[in-house]
Amino acid sequence: MNNKNLIISLLFTLLVITACQNNEPPKKIVKLKKLPFVSIQKAKIHKMVSSITIPGTIDANIFSNIVSPVDGVIDVLNARENQQVKKGKMIAVINPNRRVSLIAENQLRVEQLQQQLKTSKQNSDSYATTKMELDKALSNLKYAKNMYQTNPVICPADGMVTQRWLDAGAQVNTRDKILTITDMSSLVIKTEVNEQYFEAIKKGKKLPLQLNAYPNDSLKGVINLVYPEIKPETRSVSFDIKILNFQKKLLPGMMATITIPVKTIDQAVVVPADAVLSGPDNKEFLFVVDKNLKTHKQLVETGITMDGLVQITKGLTGNENVAVKGQEMLKDGIEVKIAQSKQVSKQVSKQTSTPASKE
């Protein structure tokens, strides 16, 4: 009996202990917070150049428009486009309207009299009269041809025919253009720029440029003429650029793009352009990482952008460590880990693909 009571007491005690254990609150599992990875670079002092790009057109400084000296018809035209011509050579002949008219009039009279003579009897008075009139008409025709000469057009300069305005047989008026002859060695890029950049335009200054016709060629040109006036309607100054050391074919009318440095800062504080972010208020900022690997949000002002770098005009001194990768996920005052680019890219990809949790 005593043993039975003892067993019951032990079972009761065991049940009480188990019930007490089940009423204990669960232990909290503490998760270690993962620090974000970032890549950093030091802000540095670097020379920065601000540039503008402007369009230009290739044109010749030396060219001649060949015009008709009289009203008339082009009898002969000895030149076509792309043809080289020589100074002093005859390239066209103009038959003046007065000569054409007189010759045509006398030629018609001759033909009429010749027809009459064929229908007249040789021994008749009408035949003799017609014969005399025909002789006089032939004499007048000869006189018209000799008295009124054609007008030769002489080439005034060596060059290439770049435009043929009319063809042989065309009617022309005095001063009408017939041909344009261009000295291809005088081809330059003609362009202009607003007067606010006048100080950047100096004779002898070399400039980088590209031609639309040759997009894979990076070229250099030198300013060889600055025109001595400001156009009042556009407030711009015109200038010419001679292309340097280029052997490919150039043609008048080709388009060019010219880069002009307009401002240089030798001691600029710069960071990679991607490091600078913009908030909803359009204020620019970046994250500085201190020696304890804590982030500090720093408002900045920017200036010149060049070759992937941006000038910081306010906010940095030039020796700070700046977050350049992973900075989009940072907040002010948090700890970070310095990592390689692959780790940062993996972190950014993971965070952007996972929906943000509500705090």
Could you tell me the CATH superfamily of domain 52-61+184-264? Answer: Efflux pump adaptor protein, beta barrel domain (2.40.30.170)
Classify domain 37-48+266-343 by CATH architecture.
Beta Barrel (2.40)
Task: Return the domain boundaries, the chain.
Answer: 37-48+266-343, 52-61+184-264, 63-182
Q: Is the dihedral of CA 281, 284, 289, 290 positive or negative?
A: negative
Position with higher pLDDT, 233 vs 142: 233
Tell me what pLDDT residue 142 has. Answer: 83
Strands 309-314 and 321-325: unpaired
Whose CA is closest to 36, among 333, 359, 303, 355? 333
Residues of the chain with pLDDT > 90, as a percent, come to 65
Q: What is the mean pLDDT of residues 302-331?
A: 92
List, as own/partner pairs, every contact residues 131-138 make where C-beta atoms lie below 8 angstroms and the sequence separation is at least 24, other chains included. Answer: 134/110, 137/106, 137/109, 137/110, 137/113, 138/110
Confidence of residue 20 (pLDDT cuts 50, 70, 90): low
What is the rounded CA–CA span in Å between residue 159 and residue 167? 19
Query: φ and ψ at 100, to 5 degrees?
Result: -60, -45
Tell me what pLDDT residue 19 has. Answer: 56
What is the rounded CA–CA span in Å between residue 133 and residue 121? 16
- Per-residue pLDDT reduced to its tens digit, 103-143: 888 888 888 888 888 888 877 878 888 888 888 888 888 87
Task: Answer yes or no: are the C-beta atoms of 260 and 212 closer than 8 Å.
Answer: no
Tell me what pLDDT residue 118 has. Answer: 85
Confidence of residue 77 (pLDDT cuts 50, 70, 90): very high
Most confident of 30-34, 95-99, 308-312, 343-347: 308-312
What is the rounded CA–CA span in Å between residue 151 and residue 206? 48
Position with higher pLDDT, 41 vs 32: 41
Task: Answer yes or no: are the C-beta atoms of 259 and 53 closer than 8 Å.
Answer: yes
Residues of the chain with pLDDT > 70, as a percent, come to 85
Least confident of 113-127, 173-187, 255-269: 113-127
Is 52-61+184-264 in the same CATH topology as 37-48+266-343? no
Q: How far is CA 135 from the centre of its chain?
A: 72
Phi-psi region of 181 (alpha: psi -120 to 50; beta: other; left: phi over 0): beta
Report helix, strand or coil for 90.
Answer: strand
Encoding tokens for residue 281?
């208020």
**pLDDT above 80 for 235:** yes
Query: φ and ψ at 68, to 5 degrees?
Result: -75, 135
Q: What is the dotted CATH code of the domain comprising 63-182?
A: 2.40.50.100
**Average predicted confidence (pLDDT) for the chain:** 86
Burial 71-100 (b: 16+ CB within 10 A, else e): bbbbeebebeeeeebeeeeebbbbbbbebb
